């Protein structure tokens, strides 16, 4: 794992940032979504957050981005407490509706640099550079409606990376794509990450995706009051084949199975997955 991080750092023009979550708690009205979340992301590390649907993965990501208030604890980046919107973070959402529909792919990517005060020509140059990095240079003049789902997600990634964030937060960015496109984008993302050296926190409910991508995988418990259940280190060198990580996949699946069952139980769906015994332990 360390060797990949080191490679990223050496190659990187964007030094990754460290994220520390200390006793993080988040509540919406009467609902305590997260409680006692403690975790550290190392600079340049690729971390996946994995957990049953509704456990609070997006909420935790939003807390790192500074989009939601904490009920307790703190999030800090390189030792500095995050207050308000996190200036280090770039966020990629699941929905490709996050793109500006009335701007071309190039204009979408150039938007960030323009907002950061870069000139028009310079911003266009940056946009071209980052669109090429995601293999989309030929589609620069197309509007989002003229792009496939996979291409739109590529534009979103280019748009975020064009701002050179030291921390990239991704919320199920490939969740809506077909398996083949998803696998291609996973490989591209790993290459981009290795080249930039930024830190990534990537939310997914897909175990397969997490073992292919991550340096470490954080498994969360079912909500409410979700917390971190276990943390796995993925030792397999990159690029990884699914065969390399099959054993780890099985271990995580076993670990998470109980949480998914508990989550369904909490929603009133009674299924028999050994959850009663587990809940009592």
Instruction: List residues binding ligand ADP (CB under 6 A).
Output: 28, 31, 33, 51, 53-59, 223
**What DSSP state is assigned to residue 144?**
G
CB 94 to Mg ion: min, Å: 8
- Which two three-digit tokens encode residue 177? 């794509």
**What DSSP state is assigned to residue 88?**
T
Report which of 95, 42, 35, 86 is spatially closest to residue 65, judged by C-alpha positions.
86
Which position has the token pair 């071309």? 104
Number of Cα atoms under 13 Å in the Cβ half of residue 61? 28
How many chain residues bind Mg ion (CB under 5 A)? 1
CB closer to Mg ion, 35 vs 58: 58
CB closer to ligand ADP, 56 vs 144: 56
**Beta strands in 18-173, from DSSP E residues, in sequence order:** 19-28, 31-41, 46-50, 72-77, 80-81, 89-92, 167-171
Could you tell which of Mg ion, ligand ADP, none binds residue 54, using a CB distance below 5 to 8 A set by kind? ligand ADP
CB closer to ligand ADP, 14 vs 27: 27
CB closer to Mg ion, 144 vs 173: 173
Which position has the token pair 């981005």? 65
CB 13 to ligand ADP: min, Å: 31
Could you tell which of ligand ADP, Mg ion, none binds residue 47, using a CB distance below 5 to 8 A set by kind? none
Footprint (CB under 5 A) of Mg ion, residues 47-66: 58
Could you tell which of ligand ADP, Mg ion, none binds residue 51, using a CB distance below 5 to 8 A set by kind? ligand ADP
CB 253 to ligand ADP: min, Å: 17
CB closer to ligand ADP, 31 vs 273: 31
Distance CA 170, CA 229 (A): 21
Footprint (CB under 5 A) of Mg ion, residues 23-52: none
SS3 string of 207-226? Answer: HHHHHHHCCEEEEECCCCCE
Distance CA 208, CA 227 (A): 22
């Amino acid at each position: 794992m360390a060797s990949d991080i080191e490679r990223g750092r050496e190659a990187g023009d964007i030094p990754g940032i460290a994220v520390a979550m200390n006793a993080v708690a988040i509540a919406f009205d009467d609902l305590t979504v997260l409680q006692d979340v403690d975790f550290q992301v190392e600079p340049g590390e690729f971390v996946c957050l994995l957990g049953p649907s509704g456990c609070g993965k997006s909420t935790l990501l939003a807390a790192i981005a500074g989009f939601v208030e904490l009920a307790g604890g703190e999030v800090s980046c390189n030792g500095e407490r995050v207050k308000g919107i996190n200036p280090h973070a770039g966020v990629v959402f699941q929905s490709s509706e996050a793109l500006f529909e009335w701007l071309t792919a190039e204009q979408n990517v150039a938007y960030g640099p323009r907002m950061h005060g870069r000139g028009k020509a310079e911003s266009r140059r940056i946009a071209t550079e980052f669109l090429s990095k995601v293999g989309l240079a030929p589609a620069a003049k197309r509007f989002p409606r003229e792009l496939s789902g996979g291409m739109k997600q590529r534009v979103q990634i280019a748009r975020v990376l064009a701002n050179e964030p030291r921390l990239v937060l991704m919320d199920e960015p490939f969740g809506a794509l077909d398996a083949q496109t998803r696998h291609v984008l996973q490989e591209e993302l790993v290459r981009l990450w290795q080249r930039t050296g930024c830190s990534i926190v990537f939310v997914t409910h897909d175990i397969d995706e997490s073992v292919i991508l991550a340096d470490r995988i954080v498994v969360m418990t079912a909500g409410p009051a979700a917390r971190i259940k276990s943390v796995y280190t993925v030792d397999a060198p990159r690029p990884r084949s699914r065969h390399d990580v099959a054993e780890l996949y099985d271990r995580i699946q076993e670990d998470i199975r109980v949480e998914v069952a508990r989550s369904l139980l909490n929603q009133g769906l009674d299924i028999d997955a050994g959850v009663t015994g587990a809940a009592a332990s």
